[in-house]
Amino acid sequence: MARTAAVRRGKPLPAVLKATTDAFAEVWADKRALLPHAGAVALRRIAAVEAARDQQPLRLELVKHVAAAVEGGELRAKLPAQILADMFLLNVFAALMAWSGSATAALPLPVILGGVTDLFLHGAAGS
């Protein structure tokens, strides 16, 4: 059943999440100082224009993949796919902000964002 969902959407959910975090890392890895400013603007925009948030292509595509993963049994969830996708993206955002605030971040951004994916898929206690 999980294989069916993966095939229907083209990729298994872990691969989709990795592609998402890889893209964030590629864009922001050398722009650490800009992240807090970009984050503040993004938060103000989200608060002011809720309808725009619901139409963001990344969010729409991620919701489709999460829904397919839930439907196919690849992901267990008590929450709707839209909330799960938002939670993943918010955790990516939180990790970016935490990384940007650390003048001596010991871990590279891709490693930190990989941890977000692991946390999303397996939880803090693991599975």
Q: How confident is the model at residue 7 (pLDDT cuts 50, 70, 90)?
A: very low
Domain interval for residue 45 = 2-122
Task: Read off the pLDDT of each residue in 27-31 and give the average, rounded to a whole number.
Answer: 80
Region 6-35 average pLDDT: 80
Residue found by looking up tokens 């693991």 in the block: 126
pLDDT at res. 59: 86
CATH of the domain at 95: 1.10.357
Asked if residue 127 is part of any domain, the answer here is no
Domain count, the chain: 1
Q: What is the pLDDT of residues 35-70, one digit of tens each?
A: 777 767 666 666 556 655 566 788 889 999 999 999
User: Is residue 52 included in any domain, yes or no?
Assistant: yes
Q: Taking Cα atoms as reference points, which of 95, 122, 110 lies closest to residue 25?
A: 110
| Residue 74, H or E segment | none
Domain membership flag for residue 13: yes
DSSP alpha helices (H): ranges in 10-74?
13-28, 35-48, 50-53, 57-71
pLDDT band, very low/low/confident/very high, at 107 (cuts 50, 70, 90): confident
Q: End-to-end CA distance of the chain, in Å?
A: 20
CB 31 within 8 A of CB 97: no
Confidence of residue 14 (pLDDT cuts 50, 70, 90): very high
Confidence grade of residue 101 (pLDDT, cut at 50, 70, 90): confident
- How far is the CA of 17 from the CAs of 44, 47, 65, 102, 114, in angstroms? 25, 25, 9, 24, 9
Helix (H) or strand (E) holding 99: helix 81-100
Q: Are 29 and 109 in contact (CB under 8 A)?
A: yes
